[in-house]
């Protein structure tokens, strides 16, 4: 694995070659990663996998024409050919008046913030095997669990570097560790499956493997013998690991490309109330050892904590340089880059602030509703905001979580759902996107 300094030099080198080949401007991304994954099933080692990769992506500009190429061959001869090919492709490409590098005066300068994203713990295959086995054993020990899809553990290390021809070069390293378990409860046609997992940048911040396994087993058993839910309008409560999907629909709707193309249900919503008063949604790229923390964005701009929604009001779009130019605005530091193609946009450690009431209080006045623990399908229209998903979970009866239910559909429109949303006070930072338990009133539930 290269060091961040070595990765940065790789990116700078191909940019220099591109300029020498005739490009007016260029940027490059270098990414390297190594990962080990171990899985066990029914107490026996099932698989050990090791992967390593190094990839280089180059984007060049000739006037307003651009082209992108990538390669895993990092020899000097291959890089010379890559740069020449990219410039030749750009000369034949159509013009794009919005194309170009990020504004030079906006680039990050100086040392990047220290975010503690790597710990380089000694995660040997033997230790990973033991963690996977511990998680699965704990899950299988739960009364009612009858089979297993396995336990898993992983460790990875990545280096990412970006360089541009107009003055930016930076790189950083991250590590990641994960433990999971997935088991089956019941028998025959009545079998139910569920899982649990945890990921962290630092190994010592992972939940205990036995706790992860126990939760997976308990979740599967709790779903046994599901009933049907009545059809009609009613409150729907989303558990935290599912509620984050609602926030993902928000970020998709406020992405610069969607606004520029007029393909968003929030097209005219900037500066208006889109959530109930008191709702705040924030993005924090500087969270120490956060799963999505980063010191700079995919175009070399500095990043900083920002409120997407403040007191229910939509405060910003998510803009890379191209969409910002198209909209006559400034980029917001949310650009993301893969190896191929130009930038898109993404958030970092996105979260909805906790509400003021415990979960028990949040559901106390629900006479008939559903608590959703699984969503199925992708029935969301990003242009209109229409929302329809298959679901499973539990009934809420007279303010209490009751028996499991399955094979029902929840539907609404995201514009209305956002305004009818109420968060509980149980926010915990466990994922890349974090929300508390969320209640949405007035949704339509269709039973099976």
Walk across the sheet containing 192-200 and list its strands: 65-71, 44-62, 25-41, 145-164, 169-185, 192-200
Structure tokens at 227: 């009933």
**Beta pairing partners, 277:** none
Residue 325, phi then psi, degrees to nearest 5 = -60, -45
Answer for the pair 150, 47: CB distance below 8 angstroms, yes or no.
Answer: no
pLDDT confidence band for 266 (50 / 70 / 90): very high
Residue 448 clears pLDDT 80, i.e. is over it = no
Q: What pLDDT does 379 receive? A: 85
Answer for the pair 281, 250: CB distance below 8 angstroms, yes or no.
Answer: yes
Q: How far apart are CA 140 and CA 150, in angstroms?
A: 10
Residue 327 clears pLDDT 80, i.e. is over it = yes
Residue with tokens 């087993």: 217
pLDDT confidence band for 342 (50 / 70 / 90): confident
Average pLDDT rounded to a whole number, residues 403-415 = 96
Structure tokens at 291: 């799963």
pLDDT digits (tens, 9 = 90+) for 125-137: 999 999 999 999 9
Average pLDDT rounded to a whole number, residues 127-153 = 97
pLDDT confidence band for 333 (50 / 70 / 90): very high
Cα atoms found within 13 Å of the Cα of residue 225, Cβ hemisphere only? 3
The mean pLDDT value of the chain amounts to: 95
pLDDT digits (tens, 9 = 90+) for 275-286: 999 999 999 999
Q: What pLDDT does 123 receive? A: 87
Q: What is the 3-state secondary structure (H, E, C) of 350-389?
A: EEECCCCCCHHHHHCCCCEEEEEEEEEEEEECCCCCEEEE
Q: Which residues contact 82 (CB under 8 A, 6 or more apart)?
A: 14, 17, 56, 58, 69, 71
Alpha-carbon distances, residue 363 vs 28, 231, 261, 400 (angstroms)? 51, 19, 40, 7
Residue with tokens 């107490």: 43
Q: What pLDDT does 352 receive? A: 98
Q: What pLDDT does 1 receive? A: 82
Residue 339 clears pLDDT 80, i.e. is over it = yes
Average pLDDT rounded to a whole number, residues 317-324 = 97
Alpha-carbon distances, residue 316 vs 55, 105, 306, 362, 440 (angstroms)? 33, 21, 9, 29, 24
Q: What pLDDT does 4 receive? A: 94
What is the Cα Rg of the chain in Å? Answer: 24
pLDDT digits (tens, 9 = 90+) for 368-390: 999 999 999 888 999 999 999 99
Q: What pLDDT does 189 receive? A: 85
pLDDT > 90 fraction of the chain, expressed in percent and rounded: 95
Q: What pLDDT does 130 receive? A: 97
Answer for the pair 352, 436: CB distance below 8 angstroms, yes or no.
Answer: yes
Q: What pLDDT does 278 receive? A: 96
pLDDT confidence band for 160 (50 / 70 / 90): very high
Q: How far apart are CA 352 and CA 374, in angstroms?
A: 20
Neighbours of 261 (CB within 10 A): 13
pLDDT confidence band for 104 (50 / 70 / 90): very high
Q: Is 414 helix (H, G, I), strand (E, B) or coil?
A: helix
pLDDT confidence band for 347 (50 / 70 / 90): very high
Instruction: State pTM to two decimals.
Output: 0.94
Q: What pLDDT does 115 receive? A: 95
């Amino acid at each position: 694995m290269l060091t961040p300094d070595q990765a940065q030099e790789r990116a700078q080198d191909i940019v220099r070659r591109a300029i020498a080949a005739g490009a007016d401007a260029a940027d490059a991304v270098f990414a390297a990663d190594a990962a080990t994954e171990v899985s066990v099933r029914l107490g026996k080692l099932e698989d050990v996998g090791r992967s390593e990769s190094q990839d280089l992506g180059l984007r060049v500009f000739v006037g307003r024409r651009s082209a992108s190429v990538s390669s895993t061959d990092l020899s000097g001869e291959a890089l010379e050919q890559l740069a020449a090919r990219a410039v030749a492709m750009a000369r034949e490409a159509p013009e794009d008046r919005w194309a170009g590098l990020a504004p030079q005066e906006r680039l990050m300068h100086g040392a990047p913030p220290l975010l503690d994203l790597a710990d380089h713990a000694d995660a040997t295959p033997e230790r990973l095997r033991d963690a996977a086995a511990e998680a699965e054993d704990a899950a299988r020990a739960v009364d009612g669990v009858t089979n297993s899809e396995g336990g898993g553990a992983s460790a990875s290390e990545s280096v990412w570097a970006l360089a541009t021809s107009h003055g930016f070069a930076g790189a950083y390293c991250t590590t990641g560790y994960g433990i999971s378990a997935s088991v089956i409860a019941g028998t025959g046609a009545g079998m139910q499956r569920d899982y649990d997992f945890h990921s962290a940048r630092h190994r010592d911040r992972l939940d205990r493997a036995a706790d992860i396994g126990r939760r997976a087993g308990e979740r599967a058993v709790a779903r046994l013998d599901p009933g049907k839910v009545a059809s009609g309008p009613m409150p729907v409560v989303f558990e935290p690991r599912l509620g984050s999907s609602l926030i993902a629909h928000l970020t998709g709707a406020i992405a610069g490309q969607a606004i520029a193309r007029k393909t968003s249900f929030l097209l005219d919503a900037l500066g208006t109330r889109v959530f109930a008063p008191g709702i705040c949604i924030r993005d924090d790229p500087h969270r120490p050892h956060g799963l999505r923390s980063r010191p700079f964005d995919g175009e070399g701009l500095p990043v900083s904590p920002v409120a997407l929604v403040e007191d229910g009001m939509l405060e910003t779009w998510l803009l890379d340089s191209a969409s910002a130019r198209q909209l006559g605005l400034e980029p917001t530091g949310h650009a993301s880059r893969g190896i191929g193609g130009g930038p898109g946009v993404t958030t970092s450690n996105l979260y909805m602030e906790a509400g003021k009431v415990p979960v028990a209080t949040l559901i106390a006045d629900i006479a008939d509703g559903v608590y959703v623990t699984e969503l199925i399908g992708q029935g969301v229209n990003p242009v209109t905001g229409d929302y329809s998903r298959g679901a499973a979970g539990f009934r809420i009866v007279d303010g209490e979580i009751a028996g499991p239910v399955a094979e029902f559909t929840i539907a609404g429109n995201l514009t209305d759902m956002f305004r009818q949303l109420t968060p509980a006070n149980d926010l915990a930072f466990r994922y890349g996107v974090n929300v508390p338990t969320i209640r949405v009133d007035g949704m339509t539930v269709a039973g099976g």
